[in-house]
Chains A and B, each alone.
Chain A
Amino acid sequence: MSNENYCGVWVFAEQRNGKIRGVAYELLARGRELADALQTELSAVCLGHEIDDVSSLIAHGADRVYRVDSPALANNQEDLLTRQLIGLIQQHRPEIVLAGATALGRAFIPRVAAALPTGLSADCTDLDIDADKRLLLQTKPTFGGNIMAVITCPEARPQMATVRPHVFSRREPDGSRKGEIIRVDFDRERTTSRTKLIDFVEEIAEAVRIEEADVVVAGGRGLGKAENFEMLRELASAMGAAVGATRAVVDEGWIAYSHQIGQTGKTVCPRLYIAVGISGALQHVVGMQTSECIVAINDDPHAPIFEVATYGIVGDLFQVVPMLTEKLRKR
């Protein structure tokens, strides 16, 4: 089939527990620009059960929402998502499909691409359009972020990419935007899930989730030992901040994996990121470099973290951090 038969940009609007996740809105913002560059429509695909506020997808830029609502889809059984999304893509033939590079997206979107079959790039940090060739230019980090690669899918359609959360900013929702919500019946032919979710165990000790926090205070090996995270928690509590960490200290067992920021952890984009005793290995920096303001506190003036810092203090963190906490508390 010729590629002219494929048109439109699609965003997979991931939900968890009935709430649409932030990355969906980020992808709609960028997807809107890509669709405009191609002079085509932007659609969101929403698979789940009793999802809140589906019309917000239109307010954030979608012209159309394909909505499949079924109790079977409530907890994101990947066999079901895979089959439903393949069915929708085969029926409607979008030219581009984007999804968040979340734990879910990176697990099941590759299966969709494998089956269609078409190309897929992983964990992109930028997307652009070559309007003449109608090609999606997919930029992704490789070698832990040391080398960036620009990838295209020249022949097969759709062109598919998973995109790292927090690399694009969402738009202000516009409640007056008009769009269409199309209810699609759950495809009963494709209902069996071989894998079953038995239980979910939450593993975040602190009250503030780092992905959603306005301020993140993160610690690295410079803290010296697990007990010294207490000093960071005090700074965080003085600021209403969440606590993050580098891979090195998670590996040491000083703090749980759910706090890990970077290549194999979470990507965050707070207004303020305070890096304490963090050298700034690329694998960490890729997880926080889009933060609005980065403060680095480190005793090594040559630490690469200062290359990405907005503000830096070269000094002994065991003096700087308690003083900072004290002065913040007095305000």
Chain B
Amino acid sequence: MKIVVCLKQVPGTTQVKIDPETNTLIRQGIENIINPFDTYAVEEGVRLRERFGGGVTVISMGPPQAEAALREAISLGADEGILLSDPAFAGADTWATSYTLSAALRKLGQYGLVICGRQTLDGDTGQVGPQLAEMMALPFIAYVSRIEEIADGGMRVRRMVEDGYEVMESPLPAVITVVKEINTPRLPSLRGIARSKSVTIPVWGAKEINVEPDKVGLSGSFTRVIRIFSPQRVCQGEIFQGDVENQVDCLLGRLKADGLV
């Protein structure tokens, strides 16, 4: 079975600052990494290939440097990578991103399963998996924590919900998003590192995947970010002093006065 894993390259920290002059994010000096949630998707793809055979293709939409994330995924066991990169793709929201990925999937042709991470570290939306599924008219299951079985053109999985997990079945091909509970990603192998350095990563632009220019990038995006800001946190709390017993008594006194105990 051919497995496609979608991944995104993101800044390697959430501790980003806003430049007060330009009101944009300061990205200098921040190393880029594979979105941590996507590393579970890569690992699960590789494990499925080990169980059932086939191959793992990783695809990513991003600027030219996103190629590094694809090479890293190959060092972790993926077979091949495809970079979707074109100035026209820049500024895409989740709809335009999903549309671009769906066009790439159509060009890829045969595949049995598409795996995405549950959300990204930067945008935090978790929307590309379900939107990609809808555009491909494929079944979709979110928050998968275990793939129990793949057989007879279908799969049985567990997916996490607020108060437990659900066992779901779906025909294949399908799209899933995975949570970190699904596996523990391995470290790169020496053989994988060697392959990741030598393998050619094809770059597909708007022309190669045959997309309409007004449906990709910023012009294909329905949403606009009109402002970004840092949330303000100010300490207004009361810290109790004295020995432990005194602190506990003060606390209980306040909670009682507030009607909380």
Contact = CB atoms under 8 A, between A and B. Distances in A.
A117 B135 CA distance: 10
Given A324-B248, A327-B248, A328-B252, A293 B258 contact: yes
B225 A150 contact: yes
B40 interface: no
A87 interface: no
Interface in B210-260: 221-231, 233-240, 244-245, 247-249, 251-252, 254-255, 258, 260
Contacts of B222: 117-120, 153, 155-156
B229 A147 contact: yes
Interface stretch (A29-37, A89-97, A136-144): A136-144
Given A108-B130, A147-B18, A320 B247 contact: yes
B28 to A, nearest CB: 16
24 contacts: A107-B130, A110-B126, A111-B140, A114-B98, A114-B134, A115-B134, A117-B95, A117-B222, A119-B93, A123-B124, A142-B124, A147-B228, A152-B224, A200-B165, A201-B166, A211-B162, A239-B261, A251-B180, A309-B237, A311-B239, A311-B251, A313-B240, A313-B251, A328-B261
Contacts of B127: 106, 110, 113, 120, 122
A151 B233 contact: no
A309 B228 CA distance: 25
Interface stretch (B45-53, B77-85, B168-176): B168-176
A114 B135 contact: yes
B interface: dominant SS? mixed
Q: Which of B18, B244, B249 has the most CB of A within 10 A?
A: B244
Interface string B95-114: 10010000000000000000
A328 B251 CA distance: 11
Nearest to B247: A313
Interface string A122-143: 1100000000000001001111
A191 B245 CA distance: 64
Given A79-B139, A195-B141, A328-B252, A146 B230 contact: yes
B163 A258 contact: yes
Contacts, number: 243
Contacts of B179: 264
B198 interface: no
Contacts of A169: none
B152 to A, nearest CB: 14
Interface string A306-331: 11111111111001100110011001
A164 to B, nearest CB: 11
A interface: dominant SS? mixed
Contacts of A199: 166-167
B84 to A, nearest CB: 18
Given A119-B223, A148-B231, A197 B134 contact: no
B27 to A, nearest CB: 12
Given A147-B228, A271-B260, A201 B95 contact: no
Contacts of B180: 251, 264
Interface string A148-172: 1111111110000000000000000
A74 B157 CA distance: 21
A204 interface: yes
Nearest to A305: B237
B25 interface: yes
Interface of A: 78-79, 82, 102-104, 106-108, 110-111, 113-115, 117-123, 137, 140-156, 194-204, 209, 211, 215, 239, 251, 257-258, 263-264, 266, 271-272, 282-283, 292-296, 301, 304, 306-316, 319-320, 323-324, 327-328, 331
Given A146-B230, A315-B247, A203 B134 contact: no
Given A120-B94, A146-B15, A151-B223, A293 B162 contact: no
A107 B140 contact: yes
A143 B238 contact: no
B166 A312 contact: no
A282 B134 contact: no
A322 B124 CA distance: 38
Nearest to B141: A195
A306 B224 contact: no
Contact of A150 (B11, B228, B251, B261): B228
Contacts of A296: 237
Contacts of A304: 233
Given A144-B121, A146-B15, A320-B248, A110 B94 contact: yes
Given A194-B170, A312-B237, A320-B248, A145 B143 contact: no
B164 A119 contact: no
Contact of A143 (B14, B160, B164, B233): B14
B247 A307 contact: no
Given A110-B134, A123-B124, 8 more contacts: A143-B15, A143-B122, A145-B14, A150-B225, A155-B222, A293-B260, A295-B251, A310-B238
